[in-house]
Structure 1
Amino acid sequence: MNYSLADNGPDAWRWMFGLGVVPSALFLLGVFFLPESPRWQMSKGQLDNAMKTFNKIGGKETAMKLIAGVDHHPQQINQSGNNGLFSKAVRPALLIGVTLAVFQQLCGINVVFNYTSTIFSSVGATLDRQLWETVIIGIVNTLFTLLAMWQVDKLGRKPLIMYGSIVLSVSYLILAVLLRNQAPAAWISVFVLLAIAVYATSLAPVTWVIISEIFPNHIRGKASAFAILCLWGAYFILVFTFPLLAKSLGTYGPFYLYSGICLLGFLFIRYNVKETKGQSLEQLESNFSAH
């Protein structure tokens, strides 16, 4: 007997919603094992605790180097940065961080996550097929995010987000053509999953890494929070406007727009984002100040 995801009827969404408790509980449990930032510990005079945290990250030799590097930047630890978020010195990094955060959302991938059923129903896919595609998208996203965690320090940040931007641009263009011509759902699935895999190995994790690295130490917390606020604002705009665009342009129409945004994002990254791989936060700040 064949089992259908749609067999649970109108109450199936309750199970899907309720299962969100599992990852949320695991995340909450993991928070209890997170150490404090060693730079915060040093700012509070907790040098021994900072040494222990650095030691866990990279060993004793690395810990000594990092402690020495932070010691050479005491003013960055002690400044509160209450008035420095939009200062002239911070503004270029803030512009890059906010642009990357907004681009990570306006690149359009969360349309694929949130409107999977709409995309596949537009080419005549059954409800069961739509639900299975949602499940497969989640699996692919998880597996390729793990791959990105393994590769981000080997390949670097900039190459990954550049490759992700340009491949997404091409994938969306092909997907728009397929949707417009009512291609079989199997072909739609290929390019939807390709887009998910590319995003999961590039823009999804790497944007967060870059945002955590590019800001000066004394303003990092506030600047990161502001960039993330802009990120979620862009997310709201994306998911709010897709139904409106799809209604007026067809389901395929918005993907032409997302393809263009990804191309612009590629050009912005190519000319404005610097590689941060293999550098301490203090080295990054020194390079930024010199720049």
Structure 2
Amino acid sequence: MKKKNNNSYVLSIALIAALGGLLFGYDTAVISGAEQSVENYLIDSLGLSSLIHGLTVSSALIGCIIGGLISGYFSNNLGRRNSLLLAATLFLVSALGSAYPEFLFFEFNEPTIGLLIMFNFYRIIGGIGVGIASATSPTYIGEIAPQGIRGTLVSWYQFAVIFGQLVVYFVNWGIASGQPTAWVNDIGWRFMFASEAIPALLFFVLLFYVPETPRYLASKNKEDQALNILSKINGSKEKAKEVLSDIRESLDSKESTGKLFSFGKTVIIVGILLSVFQQFVGINVALYYAPRIFESMGAGENASMLQTVIMGVVNVGFTIVAIRTVDKWGRKPLLMIGSIGMAIGMFGVAVLAQNEVFGLWTLIFIILYTASFMMSWGPICWVLLSEIFPNKIRGQAMAFAVAAQWAANFFISSTYPAMIDVSGGLTYGFYGLMSVISAIFVWKMVPETKGKSLEQLESLWGKGKNKQMEPVKVNNE
């Protein structure tokens, strides 16, 4: 019973931290319902180009890259929990500011270039919050969770991301449903952005009920506080002292300076490539452009929306598959199975697109692709990023990996329209090829981390340049 109570405690604080993922999904997807109204109010009324429209829609991604880059500074100096409080504050400011960009400086419903700039400023602020949360939430969960359930708990972060996207789709639909287009263009879109303030405020308040991570506290020589939290997590003071001793040993090691590359370059390269491959396999093309993809392949507008809903339900279901299996099967098997499934799905779509054969098989291959991603690269990438970086460099290494992920997201999402104009077959074939390469990368370079403490994992990378490829040896353990 004691163990169950402790698991309930860990689960509760992990789920609060995972709300950062829900706001990540909410903030990046809320623009989908408001995009046409924003175009009408701030783009068309000012006679601006489609380029400005595109930059306005994607401006939050710029903030995501910035937030990812600076997350390490805040994580190391403010702490993991306080960094999440900062992210929650930025979400709240962005929600209210995007809904009412005229605040203080502009006249209501009188669009100007200055107002457009202010709207984008608020969207970038939200993006910075996403960048900070996307680096810090998995780090927090990874550092707070016992090793036996760490993969499961971090996987809940990815579930929260897609659940946040699903929630905002229904919120946007509920706001616009039954309302005249004129009302949505004048007022409705503001409610869509403002709705994010509710989960942002909830996240902010609940964070005051979670502790700082014991590893961060130990790094700041607050060992009594760290021991108290570890005792609650592990169920006994003896076990807590043992874990704290391992943490202290890793932090006091003289073999590493704590600089970014002090454990060699390989761990940083593996982290960055995990992030880049998660995007280069094309998942955000499938998510962002799903209705357009289905319409281009012959589905009508209503049918394409229905197919998108089906895909969303599949995404949620297969993320739960990952949550239930990551600590049983391990990280590497799930990633490799997912890569193979994604490759089959994308190559299937590529062949159909190249031969202009559309219909049920197109939907089947895209669902196979997204299901494979959601049971593997979606959640498992975050699990590994929260695990592989040593204690001394985790904050700054995570910042680089997450910034790389958002940069790759921006690149893949922005190049898709131009690529599809050249050739649908080659475009989807490229994502299939990236899926194959991702499987080879996992096989050759990514260590299995299941069942090991964060401190045990540090030994995989060695402490110097001569041990950079040591993670490969973990396959034989």
Is the pair's TM-score, using the shorter chain for normalization, greater than 0.5? yes
Q: Choose which of 267, 274, 281 in structure 2 pairs with 1:100.
A: 274
Q: Tell me the equivalent position of 1:71.
A: 248
Alignment of 1:203-218 (within 5 A): 203-218=377-392
CA deviation string 1:188-225 (max 9, x = no partner): 22222222211111001111111111112111100011
Q: Deviations over 1:42-101 (max 9, x none)?
A: 122322322232234332254233112113224259x883xx2144x3311001110111
The Cα of 1:38 is off from its aligned counterpart by 0.5
Question: 1:33 deviation in Å?
Answer: 3.9
The equivalent residue for 1:191 is: 365
| CA shift in 2, pair 1:258/1:125, >3 Å | same
Aligned residue identity for 1:58? N
Quote the offset at 1:278 in angstroms.
0.9
Mark the CA change 1:136 to 1:20 in structure 2 (over 3 Å): closer, same or farther: farther
Distance 1:246 1:254 in 2: 6
Q: Secondary structure at the match of 1:125?
A: coil
CA contact (8 A) 1:164 1:201 kept: yes
1:95-244 superposed matches below 5 A: 95-244=269-418
Q: Cα gap change, 1:268/1:190 in structure 2, threshold over 3 Å: closer, same or farther?
A: same
CA contact 1:104–1:203 (8 Å) conserved in 2:
yes
The match for 1:260 is: 433
Question: Quick one: distance in 2 between partners of 1:152 and 1:85?
Answer: 28
Aligned to 1:45: 221
In 2 relative to 1, CA 167–26 (structure 1 residues): closer, same or farther, beyond 3 Å?
farther
Where in structure 1 are there 5+ consecutive unaligned residues? Answer: none
The offset of 1:125, in angstroms, is 0.9
Aligned pair in 2 of structure 1 residues 32, 76: CA closer, same or farther (>3 Å)? farther
Higher RCO (Cα < 8 Å, 6 or more apart): 1
The answer to whether residue 267 in structure 2 is matched with residue 90 in structure 1 is: no
User: How far apart, in 2, do the equivalents of 1:218 and 1:76 lie?
Assistant: 10
TM-score (norm 2): 0.54
> Normalising to structure 1: TM-score of the pair?
0.86
Which of 423, 442, 448 is the equivalent residue of 1:275? 448
1:136/1:200 CA distance change after superposition, 3 Å: same
CA gap 1:149/1:80 in 2 versus in 1, 3 angstroms: farther
Counting aligned pairs with the same residue, the percent is: 37
CA distance in 2, matches of 1:20, 1:198: 31
8 Å CA contact retained: 1:80, 1:219 = no
* CA RMSD of superposed structures (Å): 2.8
User: Is contact 2:251-2:391 (8 Å) kept?
Assistant: no
Q: 1:54 aligns with which of 225, 230, 233?
A: 230
Question: Deviation digits for residues 160-200 of structure 1, max 9, x if unmatched?
Answer: 11111111111110121223344444322222222221111
Conserved 8 A contact 2:250-2:391: no
| Distance in 1 (alpha carbons) for counterparts of 2:300 and 2:353 | 16
CA distance in 1, matches of 2:378, 2:331: 12
* Residues 151 and 33 of structure 1, relative CA distance in 2, 3 Å threshold: farther
The unaligned stretches of length 5 or more in structure 2 are 1-172, 471-477
**2:214–2:225 CA contact under 8 A, matched in 1:** yes
User: Is the CA contact 1:76–1:218 (under 8 Å) kept in the aligned structure 2?
Assistant: no
Q: Which amino acid in the other structure matches residue 286 of structure 1?
A: S
Q: Which residue identity lines up with residue 64 of structure 1 in the other structure? A: K
1:187–1:66: structure 2 CA closer, same or farther, 3 Å change rule?
A: same
Task: Quickly say closer, same or farther: Cα 1:93–1:17, change in 2 above 3 A.
Answer: same
After superposition, give the CA deviation of every residue in 1:129-152 in whole Å (9 maximum; x if it has no partner). 222223232222222222212211
1:285 matched to which residue of 2? 458
TM-aligned CA distance change 1:167 to 1:249, over 3 Å: same
- Tell me: CA distance 1:48–1:277, structure 2 relative to 1, closer, same or farther (3 Å): same
Q: How many residues align?
A: 282
Deviations 1:212-257 (A, max 9, x none): 111121111000110100000000000010000001113x431100
Name the amino acid aligned to 2:353. L
**Pair 137,15 (structure 1): closer, same or farther in 2 beyond 3 Å:** farther
Alignment check: 8 A CA contact 1:161 1:206 kept: yes
For the Cα contact (< 8 Å) 1:122–1:179, is it kept in 2?
Answer: no
Task: Classify the secondary structure of the residue corresponding to 1:187.
Answer: helix
